[in-house]
Amino acid sequence: MDFRVIGFNDPFLSSLQDMLDASDHDAEKSVNTPSRKYVRDAKAMAATPADIKEYPDSYVFVLDMPGLKSEEINVQVEENNMLVVMGMRQREDEKEKEVRYVRMERRIGKFMRKFILPENANIDAISAVCVDGVLTIIIHKLPPPEPKKPRTIQVQIG
């Protein structure tokens, strides 16, 4: 007997999900059913692995971005200290029109990760470098706040 291990990113599981989604068009949608956009974004986030390291003076985010050029990756900070890394991975145009994929395992499409940055993250001191398919984002920390000194208040005679 042939056993297969099916993971979250398995093409078989993805094809099966697509077939189930197609049959869902005819059925009534439940109020609690997540939208296609939500499911697509959740898959995009799950397929973008990241490591986060903390140093005394900075935070370092390391994300795998195989086969992408730096202009295909968008790094931005949204309001409420939200770091967003996103982009689109596309299949190379085939020169021969008669090419038929026997197996497709490399993920294509939208990718995205969101991270809530800590209060001491200096959002004005961020750098991002992509080398050999690895994106490294360095966010420097703000210096710790000065401890408040006690203030003496003069008591007046009333």
- In terms of Cα–Cα distance, which of 62, 64, 73 is closest to 110? 73
The pLDDT of residue 46 is 63
Q: What's the predicted TM-score (pTM) here?
A: 0.63
Task: Please tell me whether residue 39 adopts helix, strand or coil conformation.
Answer: helix
Estimate the share of the chain in helix, then strand, then coil, as percent rounded to the nearest 5. Answer: 20, 35, 50
- What are 76's two structure tokens? 């931005």
The pLDDT of residue 71 is 86
Write out the chain's pLDDT in tens, 158 residues. 332 333 444 555 455 455 545 544 444 455 677 777 666 666 655 667 899 999 999 999 999 888 788 888 999 999 889 999 988 887 766 556 777 778 877 777 788 889 999 999 999 999 999 998 899 999 999 988 888 888 888 899 87
**What b-and-e string marks burial along 136-145, b requiring 16 or more CB atoms within 10 Å of the CB?**
ebbbbbeeee
Residue 111 vs residues 25, 63, 97, 108: alpha-carbon distances, Å: 25, 11, 27, 8
The pLDDT of residue 110 is 80
The pLDDT of residue 43 is 62
Supply the DSSP symbol for 72. G
